[in-house]
Amino acid sequence: MSDDPRQFLLRAFDTALAAVRGDPAVARALRESPPARPVHLLAMGKAAMAMTHGACEVLGEQVRDGLVVTKHGYGGPLPAGLRLLEAGHPVPDADSLAAGRAVLQAVDALPEDVELLVLISGGASALVEVLPPGMTLDDLQRLNQWLLASGLSIHQMNRIRQAVSCIKGGRLAARLGNRPARVLLISDVTGDDPALIASGPFHAPPDTALPTELPLPIRALLDRFAQPFPPVPRVPHRIIASNRLARAAVVDAVHGVAVFDHGETLTGEAARMGEQIVAELAHAEPGLHLWGGETTVTLPPAPGRGGRNQHLALAAAIAMAGRDDIRLLAAGTDGSDGPTSDAGALVDGGTVRRGERAGLSASDCLARADAGTFLEASGDLISTGPTGTNVMDLVLALKGSPAGV
């Protein structure tokens, strides 16, 4: 890897992404356990395209039919016979409801002599939805906009989403009858619980209650539209890529530099986590430090540009201002950060100074959830485009330099 600290971090991030791409991960899983009959394919999520290509590489003409649903702008060419739909994320849109109808039709029309191969990655909670009778798209969007601004964990958010869905929480599995299916997953949740990835459409819901502290309009929505969960048949699920595997790839690839994996400990408010990481680094040993997980941001009434990784990075940049021994990269492994097309940011001790030269205040941008505007001015945003995976977020911090740690 490069001796330039910033290039070193960018290449380490690329190493993590390559280890958990959907195409090789799916291909490996299917070579290890190939289906014995023709396959109908259902791929949902931000990594759906890469996962689909991995399946088709191995199965070829064994794939008889297929439906692929991914985020607007994340689609592309597919093998003949496969249908592509794009939908809204992070807030569902009318295309999300159209995708939900198409998924129901595909599952209900499955022949008895095929296996349903389901490829799931994060983002499918918003991309595919079927609403209870009487619930509108406006209701769904208001619910998701509140969830995204609430500061709730992904576990809590997906538990609420499951309550008002006709396909989440195992409800798609309940429609299978005796038809065989298997699910391969790229995990975007802490703990890799299949019941929570994409809100678990083919898995029984977790045995947890809904959050009790909810605004009255949200509580009223749940009281009106929450659906009972049906008996859910057991469908085999297998995690094929995760944040743990991404971090492990970096540990294995980096030589000559001490590497410290702090585990999936990114949680809670992003700004607090950014400050905490810099405080830890101030007393840490030199080397490359890794964290995985997913933070939250409680948004102000009129948020600016950015996402949780940009928010964390700017808070870290403020805390490390003036230091020349720490660089920190915070990014979403799916290539996007909140509603932006930037993956995150790579900050250092000069970030605040560079942004303030453009007339911006770092603390003001942080308070207004406008970290992206500041980080664009400081030249620290990271843009990767769709990555073919989605295993939560990564923070990589280098204390010292690659040649001198």
DSSP assignments along 333-373, one per residue: TTS-BTTBS--EEEEETTHHHHHHTTT--HHHHHHTT-HHH
The three-state secondary structure class of 72 is coil
Residue 212 has pLDDT above 90, yes or no: no
Q: What's the chain's average pLDDT?
A: 95
Is residue 229 pLDDT above 60, yes or no? yes
Local confidence band at 403 (pLDDT 50, 70, 90 cut-offs):
low
Please report the sign of the dihedral spanned by the C-alpha atoms of residue 332, residue 335, residue 338, residue 344. Answer: positive
Residue 2's pLDDT is 55
pLDDT of residue 217: 92
Average pLDDT estimate for 313-326:
97
Average pLDDT over every residue of 107-135 = 96
Give percent of the chain with pLDDT exceeding 90: 90
Any residues with CB less than 8 A from the CB of 50 and at least 6 apart, and which? 21, 22, 23, 26, 388, 389
**pLDDT tier at 405 (50, 70, 90 boundaries)?**
very low
Q: Give the H/E segment covering residue 327.
A: strand 326-332
The mean pLDDT value for 202-229 works out to 89
Q: Residue 211: pLDDT band by 50, 70, 90 thresholds?
A: confident
Q: Strand 237-241 vs strand 259-261: parallel, antiparallel, or unpaired?
A: unpaired
405 vs 147, higher pLDDT: 147
Q: What does the buried/exposed string (b/e) look like for 353-370 if buried means 16 or more CB atoms within 10 Å of the residue's CB? A: ebbeeeebebeebbebbb
Q: Whats the size of the chain, residue-wise?
A: 405
Calculate mean pLDDT across residues 201-228.
89
Q: Which amino acid is at 33?
A: S
Identify the band that residue 153 occupies on the pLDDT scale cut at 50, 70 and 90: confident
Find the range with the poorest average confidence among 260-269, 276-285, 396-405.
396-405
Q: What is the pLDDT of residue 1?
A: 45
Q: Name all domains of the chain by residue range, CATH numbers in brackets.
A: 5-17+243-399 (3.40.1480.10), 21-241 (3.40.50.10180)
Lowest mean pLDDT segment, chosen from 147-161, 301-315, 329-343, 386-400: 147-161
Distance CA 79, CA 66 (A): 10
| Residue carrying the six token digits 């079927």 | 130
Question: What number is the average pLDDT over the span 18-30?
Answer: 98
Measure the CA–CA gap between 138 and 217, rounded to whole angstroms. 13
Q: Are 198 and 159 in contact (CB under 8 A)?
A: no
Q: Angle between the 243-253 and 5-19 helix axes, to the nearest 10 degrees?
A: 130
| pLDDT digits 0-9 by tens, 375-384 | 999 999 999 9
